[in-house]
Amino acid sequence: MAMIKCPESGCSNMVSDQAPTCPVCGSPVRRVEYKFHLVTHSYEYAHLGFHGQAELDALVKDGWQIVDKEEEEQFNMHGEPFGYHWRYKLQR
């Protein structure tokens, strides 16, 4: 739970992000949605491109914003680099 400023321009009350409305002015509090999306890239199948990239682009076009990105190199069973995973955290 986080405290956010009331979205009503004339109200400066701090409101819980979980509250449906501001307790002072009654203005609705916009709920923030979160989503995680994985994009992968394999060195062995590099000609296939980045798996999941088109879906990520569509989410961003639909109004989702990237707020965090984690990158992790993947290794095969012999310990050799195999590719990458990118885990995106999105919100709207």
The tens digit of pLDDT for each residue in 43-60 reads 888 888 899 999 999 999
Residue 92: predicted pLDDT: 85
The tens digit of pLDDT for each residue in 9-22 reads 889 899 988 888 99
- Strands in the chain per DSSP E: 3-5, 14-16, 34-42, 65-75, 81-91
For residue 55, what are the contacts with CB-CB under 8 A and spacing of at least 6?
Answer: 37
- Chain-centre distance for alpha carbon 6: 23
Of 20, 45, 39, 41, nearest to 31 by C-alpha is 20
Give the global pTM.
0.65
Averaged pLDDT for residues 23-30: 88
